[in-house]
């Protein structure tokens, strides 16, 4: 990119701002003159991300080497693109696939794209935290025995809350039965760079792994990598799938940020991530000394489905302060200007990354201590209706439901009908119900509870959930 910008070529091509000459001052301030000068697309000197033979091929090879994978693929449309490519490359219409219910909505969208038929396994549920953990090898083995014709198993590792489980053991079971293991490792881009963190999915034997490099290492938002391990999924199938869902005009600033993030981790990743782990552990210890707060840690796990923990995820339980997680998050944002990664009915989650230092951590601890002192109520939250995600009945495949005729009805009268749209609360982006599943009274009550907890609703036409689209 730098070489092309320095070459002095007169631009008679897109983008229309012509290497910044026509850019508005606001855009120049946002991106800088240098960035705009290099913001070109699909020039002969810049290689083709769909058929790389030059600099992109070299950059992807360096990334694969860093992560111990056989191949790497740069994605400029987020881990959603990586997951869709992963599924399209592995699955055909009608293929059976086994996955946990607490998968991200992008995986469910991938089911609609591929036409695959899902069979769900239940993750371990932690009642104290009020969140789903990982899955167990026995659970996966039972599902495989019940569905021996399944083509693949899709897993989320680690969970949004940083919980890891015996992925290596599961990988062995999956491969012994001739199936493919696909992993959504959106929150694990940093695992490779510290021995004090859980083993990453490539090291654990997964075949394809989608990694959000923008979440835990330093690439720009909307950038991710897909890694291939072994030959169970051919390279050409991955490139063909990428051509289906990726933009034909990829942003090279985003692609370059992936190469820069790879460089940063290759040069100094162990030290940088190691510092984040140390600061996180110190933070967890300090938070547990604050009255009314509890920070989930290694001492709280050690069982199937929750074998280890990414220390860089600080999940702070606030129920003893008398606040819900959503209520505490609003106070922490307005009073202390802390922007957390997520909040749920019980917890507020903070991410500690390589960018943080002792000063930032001290500010967080001091703020949490002051929050507990100033805003703690006399009565803790001891009883709530927060519970495990209710089970659902699959009546149509996601693809069948997506293309079915539908109608909008009153949500209160929807029990017994088949959903034609999803109900998902952010965070963590796990569908309560997906198109093709029957709406039950338990699902209706669960969705109402999540609304009362203040979580953001997505996936429905009606943002208040007064109505819902169902199969006609």
Q: pLDDT confidence of 349, banded at 50, 70, 90?
A: very high
- pLDDT > 70? residue 382: no
Q: How far apart are CA 424 and CA 107, in angstroms?
A: 13
Residue 428: its pLDDT value, please?
61
Q: Which of 375, 409, 438 is the last residue of a domain?
A: 375
- pLDDT > 80? residue 459: no
Cα four-point dihedral sign 403, 404, 410, 411: negative
pTM above 0.85, yes or no: yes
Q: How far apart are CA 469 and CA 426, in angstroms?
A: 20
Contact (CB, 8 A) for 449 and 386:
yes
- pLDDT > 70? residue 418: yes
- pLDDT > 60? residue 386: no
Report yes or no on 380 lying in a domain: no
Among 190, 177, 182, 136, smallest CA distance to 305 is for 136
Report yes or no on 232 lying in a domain: yes
Contacts by 379-384, CB closer than 8 A, 24 or more apart: 379/322, 380/292, 380/319, 380/320, 380/321, 380/322, 381/319, 381/320, 381/322, 381/323, 381/324, 381/346, 382/319, 384/130, 384/319, 384/324, 384/345, 384/346
- Asked whether residue 237 falls in the same domain as residue 362, the answer is no
Residue pLDDT, tens place only, 207-218:
999 999 999 999
Q: pLDDT confidence of 426, banded at 50, 70, 90?
A: low
Q: pLDDT confidence of 197, banded at 50, 70, 90?
A: very high
- Asked whether residue 443 falls in the same domain as residue 422, the answer is yes
Report yes or no on 230 lying in a domain: yes
Q: How far apart are CA 8 and CA 10, in angstroms?
A: 6
- Asked whether residue 186 falls in the same domain as residue 321, the answer is no
Give Cα separations from 128 to 206, 292, 316, 328, 346 (angstroms). 31, 14, 12, 17, 9
- Asked whether residue 142 falls in the same domain as residue 19, the answer is no
Choice between 250 and 188, residue whose per-residue pLDDT is larger: 188
Average pLDDT over residues 413-432: 84
Q: pLDDT confidence of 270, banded at 50, 70, 90?
A: very high
Q: How far apart are CA 200 and CA 215, in angstroms?
A: 15
Q: Other C-beta atoms within 10 Å of 469: how many?
A: 19
Residue 446: its pLDDT value, please?
87
Report yes or no on 145 lying in a domain: yes
Q: Which domain does 23 fall in, by range?
A: 2-37
- pLDDT > 80? residue 364: yes
- Asked whether residue 113 falls in the same domain as residue 239, the answer is yes
- Asked whether residue 6 falls in the same domain as residue 146, the answer is no
Average predicted confidence (pLDDT) for the chain: 92
- Asked whether residue 339 falls in the same domain as residue 430, the answer is no
The DSSP 8-state label assigned to residue 46 in this structure reads G
Average pLDDT over residues 116-124: 92
* CATH number of domain containing 139: 3.40.640.10
- pLDDT > 80? residue 71: yes
Torsions phi, psi of 459, nearest 5? 95, -20
- Asked whether residue 212 falls in the same domain as residue 339, the answer is no
Average pLDDT over residues 275-298: 96
Residue 125: its pLDDT value, please?
84
Average pLDDT over residues 59-69: 98
Residue pLDDT, tens place only, 5-52:
888 888 888 899 998 999 999 999 999 999 999 988 766 678 888 899
- Asked whether residue 78 falls in the same domain as residue 22, the answer is no
- pLDDT > 60? residue 384: no
- pLDDT > 60? residue 383: no
Q: How far apart are CA 354 and CA 216, in angstroms?
A: 8
* CATH number of domain containing 403: 3.90.100.10
Report yes or no on 384 lying in a domain: no
- Asked whether residue 60 falls in the same domain as residue 90, the answer is yes
User: What is the three-class DSSP state of 152?
Assistant: strand
- Asked whether residue 140 falls in the same domain as residue 99, the answer is yes
Report yes or no on 128 lying in a domain: yes
Average pLDDT over residues 124-132: 83
- Asked whether residue 102 falls in the same domain as residue 184, the answer is yes
The DSSP 8-state label assigned to residue 45 in this structure reads G
Residue pLDDT, tens place only, 303-325:
999 999 999 999 999 999 999 89
Task: Report how many domains make up the chain.
Answer: 4
Report yes or no on 383 lying in a domain: no
Q: pLDDT confidence of 102, banded at 50, 70, 90?
A: confident
């Amino acid at each position: 990119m730098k070489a092309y910008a320095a070459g002095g070529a007169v631009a008679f091509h897109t983008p229309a701002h012509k290497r910044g000459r026509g850019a508005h001052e606001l855009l120049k301030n946002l991106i800088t003159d240098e960035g705009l000068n290099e913001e070109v697309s699909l020039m002969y000197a810049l290689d083709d991300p769909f058929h790389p033979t030059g600099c992109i091929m070299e950059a992807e090879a360096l990334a694969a080497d860093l992560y111990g994978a056989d191949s790497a693929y740069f994605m400029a449309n987020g881990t959603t693109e990586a997951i869709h490519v992963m599924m399209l490359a592995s699955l055909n219409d009608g293929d059976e696939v086994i996955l946990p219910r607490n998968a991200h909505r992008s995986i469910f969208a991938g089911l609609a794209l591929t036409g695959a038929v899902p069979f769900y396994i239940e993750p371990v549920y932690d009642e104290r935290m009020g969140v789903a953990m990982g899955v167990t090898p026995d659970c996966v083995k039972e599902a495989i025995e019940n569905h021996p014709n399944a083509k693949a198993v899709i897993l989320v590792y680690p969970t949004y809350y940083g919980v890891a489980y015996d992925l290596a053991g599961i990988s062995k079971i999956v491969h012994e039965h001739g199936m493919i293991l696909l992993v959504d490792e959106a929150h694990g881009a940093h695992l490779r760079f510290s021995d004090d963190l859980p083993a990453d999915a490539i090291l654990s034997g997964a075949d394809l792994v989608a990694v959000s490099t923008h979440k835990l290492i330093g690439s720009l938002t909307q950038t991710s990598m897909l890694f291939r391990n072994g030959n169970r999924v051919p390279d050409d199938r991955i490139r063909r799938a990428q051509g289906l869902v990726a933009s034909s005009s990829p942003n090279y600033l985003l692609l370059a940020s992936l190469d820069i993030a790879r460089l940063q981790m290759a040069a100094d990743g162990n030290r940088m991530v190691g510092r984040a782990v140390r600061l996180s552990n110190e933070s967890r210890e300090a938070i547990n000394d604050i009255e009314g707060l509890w920070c989930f840690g290694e001492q709280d796990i050690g069982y199937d489905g929750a074998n280890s923990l990414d220390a860089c995820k600080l999940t702070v339980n606030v129920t003893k302060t008398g606040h819900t997680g959503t209520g505490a998050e609003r106070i922490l944002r307005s009073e202390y200007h802390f922007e957390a990664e997520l909040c749920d009915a019980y917890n507020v989650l903070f991410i500690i990354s390589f960018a943080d230092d002792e000063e930032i951590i001290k500010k967080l601890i001091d703020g949490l201590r002051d929050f507990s002192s100033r805003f703690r109520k006399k009565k803790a939250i001891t009883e709530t209706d927060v519970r495990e995600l209710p089970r659902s009945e699959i009546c149509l495949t996601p693809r069948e439901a997506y293309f079915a005729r539908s109608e909008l009805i009153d949500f209160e009268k929807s029990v017994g009908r088949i959903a034609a749209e999803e109900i998902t609360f952010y965070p963590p982006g796990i569908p309560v119900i997906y198109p093709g599943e029957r709406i039950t009274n338990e699902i209706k009550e669960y969705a109402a509870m999540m609304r009362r907890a203040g979580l953001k609703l997505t996936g429905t036409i009606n943002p208040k959930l007064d109505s819902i689209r169902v199969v006609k």
